[in-house]
């Protein structure tokens, strides 16, 4: 009964380093999402994937890339990390495509610090 | 564009006190409205939702009524418990952003025993 699993839970990077956040869901959901959470700003959508093989930009995509590896997995990559990308990142999935998505299931979050 | 405004926190209450967390929204059309809760160290979970005007969502003693005339979806609970301490997010889906969720900034609730 894992739901949405994110790795790593914590990561510290230096400016300019790259890294990939991994996300996997075991609920056979079609849609997956990456959000970032910053104090006083709620959650902002970075990228989403309506179905396997498709990805689309959200509200704040700059500096990020994503890959929908298969139906279960959706990774988020920072090619050249910047201090402005210090945040808590959440992966989520939903049981219908965005046109009918109603309830998101979230992972526990990944806290990233860029020095 | 779509936006959600929540009351600033943190909100600190004693156990068994009455809770209100205000949420107002701006959106075109008829959005669906949600409250999500985030317990310490965890991801967000859906608490309740309402999909049309005058609907009341309820769960775990929490309630919120979709008020189109005041564009509000305030969260209430009659008697809070220490275990309700969490961050509460109001969110909407619909209008300009289609079916992607737009979240408010979140309100921290602390309940003291």
Mean pLDDT, chain A, rounded, equals 91
Q: How far apart are CA A13 and CA A18, in angstroms?
A: 8
Q: Do B99 and A98 touch (CB under 8 A)?
A: yes
Summarised one tens digit per residue, pLDDT across range B24-77 is 999 888 889 999 999 988 889 999 999 889 999 999 999 999 999 999 999 999
Q: Which residues of A touch B52 (CB under 8 A)?
A: none
Q: Do A98 and B100 touch (CB under 8 A)?
A: yes
Backbone angles phi, psi at B83, to 5 degrees: -70, -10
pLDDT value of position A103: 79
Q: Do B32 and A92 touch (CB under 8 A)?
A: no
Q: Which residues of A touch B32 (CB under 8 A)?
A: 102
- Do residues B20 and B76 lie in contact, with contact meaning Cβ atoms separated by under 8 Å? yes
pLDDT above 90 (res A5): yes
Place of tokens 């500096």: A63
Three-state DSSP state, B83: helix
Who's near A70: CB < 8 A, 6+ residues apart? A52
Q: Do B98 and A45 touch (CB under 8 A)?
A: no
Q: Does A72 touch chain B (CB under 8 A)?
A: no
From the CA of B55, how many Å to the nearest CA of chain A?
A: 16
Nearest to A65 by CA among A83, A47, A84, A86: A47
Q: Which residues of A touch B42 (CB under 8 A)?
A: 108-109
Structure tokens given for A88: 């808590």
Summarised one tens digit per residue, pLDDT across range B85-112 is 999 999 998 766 666 788 999 999 999 9
Nearest to A11 by CA among A105, A67, A76: A76
């Amino acid at each position: 009964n894992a739901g949405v699993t994110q790795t790593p839970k914590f990561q510290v990077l230096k400016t300019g380093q790259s890294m990939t956040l991994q996300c996997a869901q075991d609920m056979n959901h079609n849609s997956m999402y990456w959000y970032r959470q910053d104090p006083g700003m709620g959650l902002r959508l970075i990228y989403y994937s309506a179905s396997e093989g498709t990805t689309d930009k959200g509200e704040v995509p700059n500096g990020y890339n994503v890959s929908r590896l298969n139906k279960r997995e959706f990774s988020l990559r920072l090619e050249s990390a910047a201090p402005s990308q210090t945040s808590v990142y959440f992966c989520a999935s939903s049981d219908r495509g965005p046109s009918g998505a109603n309830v998101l299931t979230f992972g526990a979050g990944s806290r990233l610090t860029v020095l | 564009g779509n936006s959600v405004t929540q009351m600033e926190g943190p909100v600190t209450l004693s156990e068994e006190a009455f809770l209100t967390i205000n949420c107002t929204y701006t959106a075109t059309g008829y959005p669906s409205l949600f409250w999500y809760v985030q317990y310490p160290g965890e991801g967000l979970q859906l608490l309740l939702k309402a999909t049309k005007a005058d609907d009341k969502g309820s769960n775990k003693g929490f309630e919120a009524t979709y008020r189109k005339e005041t564009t509000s979806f305030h969260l209430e609970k009659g008697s809070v418990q220490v275990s309700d301490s969490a961050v509460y997010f109001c969110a909407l889906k619909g209008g300009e952003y289609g079916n992607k969720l737009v979240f408010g900034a979140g309100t921290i609730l602390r309940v003291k025993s």
